[in-house]
Amino acid sequence: MLKDYIDLEYKPTKQDFVCEYHIEPAQGVGFEDACTHMAGESSIDTWSDISTLSPQLAKELKPHVIFTDEKQQTVRVAYTQDLFELNSVPQILSAIAGNIFSMSILDNLRLMDITFPEDVIQSFHGPKFGMQGVKDLLGVTDRPLVGTIVKPKVGLTSEQHAEVAYNAFAGGCDLVKDDENLTDQKFNRFQSRAELTLKGSEKAEAETGERKMYMCNITAPTCEEMLKRAGIIKDLGGEYAMIDIITVGWSALQSLRDHNEDLNLVLHAHRCMHSALTRNPRHGVSMLVIAKLIRLIGLDQLHIGTVVGKMHGERDEVLALKDECVLKNVPANHDLHMLEQDWGRIRPMFPVASGGLEPTMVPELTKIFGKDAIMQFGGGIHAHPMGTVAGAAACRQAVDASLDGISLEEYAKTHNELKAALDKWG
């Protein structure tokens, strides 16, 4: 019966999930056998023939292995949506990325991509604001947004944290966020930090005439506490919250998005710990899959890498992630292991470039991302020789120069903050 799962003539329907895997069989295991056992384990099979699996049930729910390429070690499997709880990312992943990673007949397995049927897409919220909603909120449509992370990551008091954030806002940052490991430590309590930093953003708005947004990290030990912290942000007049998407888990993210129908906050997705799943090109889950799930659940913006900077991420992967964030209809691209996806009513997410950036990288970032990105600088602002205010100003100046087609060296002749940045990093 296992060989029946190999069905290369099968055409997926509008009710099918399609998953693409990189698969490496263990020694002595045939490629097609490995593919069909993996497809069975992720759906209706177990390790032995069982009398409880009727022919009728097998016919209705069996997976279809629709593509195999032994040389490229690639397989695609179509699953009927009847196998899944439609509005449950945890259950979906328990099937298509669950026990199959523990199978002894496989040396390596990587979930490369997934495409969702229309009914599944309709069962999720998608982003509440999305890219255009964030632009409208900030009143910025003609340039990339400029953001920063308060540095050092941890150790500052609430008062010091708020001062650094205010200086970044005053210098020209649109957005300021917490880092991934700052939550509610004794030296910087969550509510105090939120209150003081939001006051700093209001002060900077009054002084600059620009909208300023603070993303406070609501990552917490329980869903209840996470939602409580989101409510505190709302009560304080905040409009943004940040969440560590991998460490809090998929159920927490879906709970947060459900509650956000009433909270009405922009939700920023920090992807810390993703490389534990995504970095090995032969095993794990691709960042592309994670990005799709985050858009489906409905966070508004997501770290996707930079190409330049300190974090791992190849150019082709980052560009594929950008497309998956912003396009309504994502075309198939077999070189990048991308399956076609029609997102229907699901809004685009704002892609965030973050990780080791500084002002001299802005021209290249502008070529890669255009205007539809958030450029997020940490040390590239706070390590500026003239301080945080000047560091933020230098980043804005670099953006202005790049959009006007002027070299940074030329622009720096009349902009001291940018000149100092070039002297340090250029």
What pLDDT is attached to residue 314? 76
> Which amino acid does the sequence have at 361?
M
What pLDDT is attached to residue 313? 55
- Residues 47-62: tens digit of each pLDDT: 556 555 666 766 778 8
Which of the following is catalytic: 161, 270, 292, 384?
A: 270
Helix axes of 89-96 and 287-297: crossing angle, nearest 10 degrees: 160
What would the mean pLDDT of 187-212 be, rounded to a whole number?
98
Any idea of the CA torsion for 70, 74, 80, 81, to the nearest 10 degrees? 170
Q: Which of 103, 122, 141 is the last residue of a domain?
A: 122
Residues 264 and 185 in one domain: yes
How many domains is the chain partitioned into structurally?
2
- Average pLDDT of the chain is 94
Q: Round to whole Å and give the CA distance between 248 and 241.
A: 14
Residue 144 sits in a domain whose CATH number is 3.20.20.110
- Classified as helix, coil or strand, 278 is helix
Which of the following is catalytic: 37, 128, 151, 303?
A: 151
Give the whole-number percent of the chain exceeding pLDDT 90.
87
382 is catalytic: no
Residues 152 and 282 in one domain: yes
Residues 114 and 162 in one domain: no
Q: Name the residue range of residue 351's domain.
A: 130-425
Q: With cut-offs at 50, 70 and 90, classify the pLDDT of residue 2.
A: very low
What would the mean pLDDT of 180-185 be, rounded to a whole number?
98
Residues 110 and 134 in one domain: no
pLDDT at 309 exceeding the cut of 60:
no
Q: Round to whole Å and give the CA distance between 92 and 69.
A: 25
- Residues 21-74: tens digit of each pLDDT: 999 999 999 999 999 999 999 987 765 565 556 667 667 788 999 999 999 999
Residues 52 and 161 in one domain: no
Name 227's Cβ contacts closer than 8 Å, sequence gap at least 6. 255, 256, 259
Residues 74 and 216 in one domain: no
Residues 107 and 148 in one domain: no
- Residues 353-402: tens digit of each pLDDT: 998 899 999 999 999 899 999 999 999 999 999 999 999 999 999 999 99
pLDDT at 280 exceeding the cut of 50:
yes
Q: Which of 81, 98, 122 is the last residue of a domain?
A: 122
Residue 108 sits in a domain whose CATH number is 3.30.70.150
Q: 49-58: long-range contacts at Cβ-Cβ below 8 A with a sequence spacing of 24 or more?
A: 49/1, 58/1
151 is catalytic: yes
What would the mean pLDDT of 341-349 be, rounded to a whole number?
96
What is the model's pTM?
A: 0.95
Residues 407 and 287 in one domain: yes
Residues 116 and 170 in one domain: no
Lowest-confidence range among 151-165, 202-216, 326-340?
A: 326-340
> Which amino acid does the sequence have at 193?
R
Q: Which of 122, 148, 165 is the last residue of a domain?
A: 122
Residues 215 and 277 in one domain: yes
Lowest-confidence range among 187-201, 233-247, 311-325?
A: 311-325
Give the whole-number percent of the chain exceeding pLDDT 70.
94
What would the mean pLDDT of 286-295 be, rounded to a whole number?
97
Residues 293 and 255 in one domain: yes
Residues 262 and 401 in one domain: yes
Burial of 330-352, coded b for 16+ CB within 10 Å and e otherwise, reads: beeeeebbbbebebeebbbbbbb
